[in-house]
Amino acid sequence: MSDFVNPSEEIKNNAYVKDYEKLYKDSLEHPDAFWENVAKELFWYKPWTKVIESKHPYYDWFVGGQTNIVANALDRWQKTEKKDQLALVWEGQDGKVVRYTYQQLHEQVSRAANALKSLGVKKGDRVSIYMPRIPEQTIVMLASAKIGAIHTVVYSGFSVQALKSRIEDAESKIVITADGYHFRDKLVETKKTVDDAIKDNPAVKKVLVVKRTGNPIAFTEGKDIWWEELVSKQDSICPTEILDANDPLFILYTSGSTGTPKGVIHAHGGYMVGVYITAKYIFNLRSNDVFWCAADPGWITGHSYIVYSPFINGVTNFIYEGPPDYPDAGKWWSMIEKYKITKFYTAPTAIRALMKYGDAIPQKYNLSSLKILGSVGEPINPEAWRWYYRVIGKEKCPIMDTWWQTETGMHIISPLPTSPLKPGSAGKPFFGIKADVVDEKGTPVAVNTQGYLVLKKPWPAMFKDVYKNSKKYTDLYWGKIPGTYFTGDFAKRDSDGYFWILGRNDDVMKVSGYRFGSAELESAFVAHPSVAEAAVIGKPHEIKGESIKAFVILKVGVQPTDELKNELKQQVRKLIGPIATPDEIEFVPALPKTRSGKIMRRVLKAKELGQDLGDTSTLEG
């Protein structure tokens, strides 16, 4: 079969999973047994009495079991030789390097956990984290989990308003941040953003500040506390909180098609099992691996495949603070050479951006340590796949195109290292996962036909609920096609059973891998005094995957000028963040709407792309 890229003998001999089809079949026939066997590889204070309990659409995993994800990520290595192995290697954009062995990381996390306790943080409390990609970001997430608190990380590329609403929704009493950080040659003042975000929020009592750059900051004695001062004086021993398997671990906000971002809740036990085994099998993790997931811990990719699963698998985890192409387009490749990275995981947008600089730059570096490559966040076009495979992986590293979501917590559809690969396809479902492509009634569609991607069986790392909004959980995810989990993606399945992800089927867009809902972007426009109404769509973009285009109706008497367009772009940057900057703004006199007044973004998009408008029978007028 010529359309497959096949694994080498070496990969086949070294992989955990040699026969996907057989194990997959078994895992669907006996999912409890499959997941239970995985869970048994991990540490539990008390074993579960039931693998899964269904209160559809709610599912509890490992009921009766007691554990803590940090007991598996750090504690259990302390009595083994692994305590002396490097756990975390970090390099800053300025070249600074920090290294922690498993023992040192354990001690540092314990000190940070004691510091949180000294500030009154208890089990179940929410802890907001707004930090650059520095070791303390990972450390404080682990520290929060260790004492049973619930971390809620906000990516440092978000601005005041986005941070404010997330801190308020989570009702955090404490925020952890840094004075600032450098992104390329620009100073980003994270502490200032926190100050602005909490100025009308009396619930936040303490702000813990890591010194990263030493830039001047406003400092309120009693409320603001330097991390270094507080953490260094703490004891390096801190007992890990014994938790129920279904106790919450974190809340992570993500965008949906309507309303404000949703707080997705994940719990210790099931999440730990899911991220552990997917990382192990998909990246074929071994003790001597140097794993680099180039995402930010502030996103789900970073939670699952930087902060937790690499440590649970006992590998050496590498984090680099800066972007791929600063000060030059060889930066990431130089990191792979310097640290002898064996497994490298990034997003298509980064691959496309780096591909643009040509083959000569990566060819300057010795990338021979690489064994497996990964891709995540959006569909990878075959051209970028082939470049990644040929120029970075030298045609010997299989590419794991992992499809999953903030809500799924773990990889759901992905090849394994031994899978025959098809460039551009995410392959087949992971063990225990029943994925299907269906029409709006839930009937499976024919081979090679576009339909809705749904999941028909629960999986351990599935989210527990939407924080303070269970109706969204039941209606948006489980109410569209009763009995199945609605992913929001279009997909098709080919005659070999391979899934091809075709993008979102709702008003969610993926811009450089970042997820935005049209509603939150539109509110940012409408917050401007000159704007009457706005509609936002995603347009295909060569590097970013999608770019943001806004159609704006101005208030009567307002002049449609280029200055105003710039002002509106600045407004969105200010309210949501630079990552949400619109590419195009068009002033329009009206927007296509249904008779009930809903904006038909689908019609706007089809017109913009010169496509057939589809069914417009509900269109007004």
Binding site for ligand WT7 (CB under 6 A): 254, 300-301, 376-379, 401-406, 426, 487-489, 501, 504, 510, 515
Least Å from the CB of residue 174 to ligand WT7? 26
Strand 290-293 relative to strand 343-346: parallel, antiparallel, unpaired?
parallel
Closer residue to ligand WT7 in complex, CB, 337/401:
401
Least Å from the CB of residue 275 to ligand WT7? 12
Least Å from the CB of residue 404 to ligand WT7? 4
Is it true that the peptide bond before 327 is cis, omega within 30 degrees of 0?
Answer: yes
Closer residue to ligand WT7 in complex, CB, 110/512:
512
Q: Are 524 and 451 a contacting pair, CB within 8 Å? A: no
Least Å from the CB of residue 269 to ligand WT7? 21
Q: List all residues 6 or more positions away from 84 whose beta carbon is below 8 Å from its beta carbon.
A: 101, 102, 103
Least Å from the CB of residue 522 to ligand WT7? 19
Closer residue to ligand WT7 in complex, CB, 124/497:
497
Closer residue to ligand WT7 in complex, CB, 240/375:
375
* Complete DSSP assignment for 142-165: HHHHHTT-EEEE--TT--HHHHHH
Strand 451-455 relative to strand 435-438: parallel, antiparallel, unpaired?
antiparallel
Integer Cα distance of 536 and 517 in angstroms: 9
Least Å from the CB of residue 436 to ligand WT7? 15
Closer residue to ligand WT7 in complex, CB, 92/302:
302
Least Å from the CB of residue 479 to ligand WT7? 17
For 461-471, b/e burial (b = at least 16 CB within 10 A) is bbbbbbbebee
**Inter-axis angle of helices 268-282 and 31-39, nearest 10:** 90
Closer residue to ligand WT7 in complex, CB, 206/411:
411
Closer residue to ligand WT7 in complex, CB, 173/464:
464
> H-helix or E-strand containing 521?
helix 518-526
Q: Where are the alpha helices (DSSP H) in 364-490?
A: 382-387, 470-472, 478
Least Å from the CB of residue 545 to ligand WT7? 9
Least Å from the CB of residue 424 to ligand WT7? 9
Least Å from the CB of residue 252 to ligand WT7? 9
Integer Cα distance of 327 and 304 in angstroms: 29
Closer residue to ligand WT7 in complex, CB, 208/282:
282
* Residue number with the smallest Cβ distance to ligand WT7: 406
The phi and psi torsions of 338 (rounded to 5 degrees) equal: -65, -45
Tokens representing residue 127 in the block: 């802890």
- Give the CA distances from residue 524 to residues 521, 559, 567, 569, 571, in Å, rounded to whole numbers and listed in that order: 5, 19, 12, 10, 7
Closer residue to ligand WT7 in complex, CB, 183/305:
305
> H-helix or E-strand containing 86?
strand 86-91
Report long-range pairs for 392-398 (Cβ below 8 Å, ≥24 apart): 392/333, 392/344, 392/362, 392/367, 393/367, 394/367, 394/368, 394/370, 396/8, 396/10, 397/370, 397/371, 397/372, 397/373, 398/5, 398/7, 398/11, 398/372, 398/373
Closer residue to ligand WT7 in complex, CB, 120/540:
540
Least Å from the CB of residue 606 to ligand WT7? 20
Q: List all residues 6 or more positions away from 571 whose beta carbon is below 8 Å from its beta carbon.
A: 524, 525, 527, 528
In angstroms, how far apart are the furthest CA atoms of the chain?
73
Closer residue to ligand WT7 in complex, CB, 59/500:
500
- Tally Cβ neighbours within 10 Å of residue 573: 16
Least Å from the CB of residue 406 to ligand WT7? 3
Closer residue to ligand WT7 in complex, CB, 148/451:
451
Tokens representing residue 208 in the block: 């813990």
